[in-house]
Chains A and B, each alone.
Chain A
C-alpha cells in the first residue's frame, strides 16, 4: 500500500510530474544518444587510425620509427615472417616498403609517403583494398602502376593514366627515381590520407630502392582488438628486442589513444552534468511535494507511522518518477540511435575541422552496453540518493506542528 500511495501521489499534481518526467526523459535520452554519438566519434577515430595503414600491430626494425629511412629496413624478413606464425587464427598480415618520397609532375611536386604493398595481402589489412573509386587497384604484377588519393589528384591537377615521378633515397644513399602511371584513385575518410599516400607494388618499390627482398614493416590485423596486447607480447618474445620493435596501435597512434581516453572522461563529465541539472529538478519537485503535504505527513506520523516508512513512501515517489522517466528516456534514446544507425550524421560540412581531430565525415552512433548501464545507474542511484533529503525532511516532521498548520 505504501508503494501504491507513492504511485498515486505522483499523479496528484500532473503538471509538475509531467515537467520532472520530461526533465528525466531528456536527461536519460541525452546521456544515451549523445553518449552513443561520442562513442561513434571515438570508434570511428580508432577504426580510421587502424585502417589507415596502422593495423593492430606493426613490426619494424629497431630505430625505424624514430628515423624512417631505408637504411633502417628489415633486412632479413624471413625471421619476422616466421615469427608471425604464432598469431591467433584469423589474423592477417602484410609486408610493406614505406619511405618518404617526393612526387612530381610537370606542374607540381610534393612530399608523400611511398608505400610498396603486396596488393592481395594489403587489401585484407588496410583500407586501400576497397578504397579505389576511379581506375583500378594494383594487380599482382604491376611494375609501373601507382594508386593515389582523390585530393592528391586535385592538388596535382592530374588524372588517371598520367605519369608521376617519384624520387627517394635508395639503399646506397643515392637518389633513386622512377616514373609511375596513375592506375587508380582512392577515396579516404580523411583528406590528409588522400594527399599523403601513394601506393605501388612492393616489387616495384624494392626495385626502385634497390633493397632486394627486404621490407620496412609488417602490419597485422587481428580478428578482435581485445587480442592486441597478448599477440604483441608473444611476438616480442619471438623477436629479439634489440633488432625489432613490436608496437600496438596505441603506441603507433598516441594522439588517438589519448583522445579516446579523454572521450571516456568527457562522457563521464557529460553524465554528471546532465545528472546535476536533473537532480536539482528532482529534489525541488519532491521537496515541493513534501511541503505541500506536510499535514498529511503529520497525520501519518500521528497515526503511528514510523519515520523510516515515511522515507520509504517519499522514495517510492521518486522511484516511480525515475523509472518512468528512464523507461521513456531509454526508449527514445534507443530509437534515436536506431534512426541514425542507417545513414549516420553527415558532418562533411565541417569536414576540414573534423579531420584535424582525425574524425570521419559521417558519424554513426555506437551503443555500448556499459554506457547505457552507467547512464541508468547514475540516474537511478543518484536520483534516489538526492531524494533522501526531502524524504528525511518529511520523516522528521513534528506531527503536532504539522497538524496545527492552516
Chain B
C-alpha cells in the first residue's frame, strides 16, 4: 500500500462567504501540504482565514475553488455523510470553547467518538481511562464539564481528539480562553502527544507563545499564505 507522506494537501483553495450584498473572501488560492507527524501553527490576525482553513482541512466546510485531500482522500466531492465519517475516523477536534458535551462526564466525553465509531464498551472504557491518565486527569473521570476548570476541559478535549487514533488533530485556538500558564501546560501536553504518539497537530493561534511551540509556522494574511517556515 502506498504510504502517503502528506496528511493534508490543498491546492489553490479559495473560499468566499456570501453575506448578502457583500462577498467576503476568506481564503485566496491557498496551497499547502501538511506532513504526517507535524506540529504546525497557523497564525494570523483575526479574519485572516485561520478557522476557515482548519474547517476545510477537517471536512467541516468545503472550498469554492481548489482541491483538498486528507490522508489521500479528496474532500471536494464528498457527501455530507461521507464528510461526517471522515471527521469521525480521521480527524480529532479541539475547539476554542464549548468543547465538551455538558451532560457527559469527562470519561464519557472521551469515549464519545469511540462510541460513534462502534468501539466495544469495555475497550472504550479502557482506552478512555488510559488517555485521561496520560493528560493528567486520572482523578477526574466522573466529573462533568461544569465541574472542571477551563484547562482541565481542554485536556479532556485533547484526550477525546487523540483517543480514537485520528490521522490529525485540528485545534482552533485551543489556548485562547486559558490563562498563559494553563495554556502553556496544554501546549506541552499536545507537544508530548505529538512526540510520543506521533499525532499530527495543526492549530490556529495568534498567540506568540503558542507560535513558539510550533515546529512549523504558517502565517495567513487576508486569506493568503504570507509565510510558511519550519522552525
Q: Which residues of A contact B (CB under 8 A)?
A: 1-2, 4-5, 8-9, 12, 295-296, 299-307, 309, 399-400, 403
Contact = CB atoms under 8 A, between A and B. Distances in A.
Interface stretch (B39-47, B83-91, B180-188, B197-205): B83-91
B157 to A, nearest CB: 10
A342 to B, nearest CB: 46
Interface stretch (B65-73, B110-118, B218-226): B110-118
Nearest to B121: A1
A305 B116 contact: yes
A295 B95 CA distance: 12
Nearest to A6: B103
Interface string B32-73: 000000000000000000000001001011000000000000
Given A302-B87, A303-B160, A307-B80, 4 more contacts: A1-B104, A296-B98, A303-B112, A400-B61
Contact of B115 (A1, A306, A399): A1
A8 B87 contact: no
B104 A5 contact: yes
Contact of A304 (B102, B108, B111, B113): B113
A2 B101 CA distance: 12
A2 B55 CA distance: 26
A187 B172 CA distance: 86
A8 B98 contact: no
Contacts of A8: 103-104
Given A1-B108, A304-B84, A305-B116, A299 B101 contact: yes
B114 to A, nearest CB: 10
Contacts of B101: 5, 296, 299-300
B158 to A, nearest CB: 14
Q: Give 6 closest A-B pairs by Cβ, nearest first.
A: A304-B88, A8-B103, A304-B87, A304-B84, A400-B60, A295-B98
Q: Which one of A4, A296, A306, A403 has the highest number of Cβ atoms from chain B below 10 Å of its Cβ?
A: A403
A403 B95 contact: yes
Nearest to B93: A302
B3 interface: no
Given A5-B101, A12-B102, A296-B102, A302 B60 contact: yes
A394 to B, nearest CB: 14
6 contacts: A2-B115, A299-B99, A300-B101, A304-B87, A305-B88, A399-B60
B109 to A, nearest CB: 10
Given A5-B101, A8-B103, A296-B102, A301 B84 contact: yes
B56 to A, nearest CB: 10
Contact of A303 (B80, B87, B98, B103): B87
Interface residues of B, number: 28
Contacts of B108: 1, 4
Contact of A12 (B87, B99, B103): B103
B84 A9 contact: no
Given A304-B89, A403-B95, A309 B103 contact: no
B98 A304 contact: no
Nearest to A10: B103
Interface string B147-188: 000000000000010000000000000000000000000000
A306 B84 contact: yes
B113 A303 contact: yes
A403 B116 CA distance: 20
Nearest to B113: A303
A303 B100 CA distance: 11
Nearest to B83: A304
A309 to B, nearest CB: 7
B103 A9 contact: yes
B67 to A, nearest CB: 19
A14 to B, nearest CB: 13
A12 to B, nearest CB: 7
Given A1-B115, A5-B104, A306 B81 contact: yes
A2 B84 CA distance: 17
Contacts of B116: 303-306, 309
A1 B103 CA distance: 11
Contacts of B104: 1, 5, 8
Contacts of B99: 299
A305 B111 CA distance: 13
Contacts of A306: 81, 84-85, 116
B93 A303 contact: yes
B113 to A, nearest CB: 6
Contacts of B60: 302, 399-400
A2 B111 CA distance: 12
B112 A1 contact: yes
A184 B84 CA distance: 87
A252 B99 CA distance: 74
A400 B98 CA distance: 13
A175 B116 CA distance: 94
A303 B110 CA distance: 12
Contacts of A12: 102-103
A317 to B, nearest CB: 11
A303 B164 CA distance: 11
Contacts of A303: 87-88, 93, 112-113, 116, 160
A302 B85 CA distance: 10
Contacts of A1: 104, 108, 111-112, 115
Interface in B122-145: none
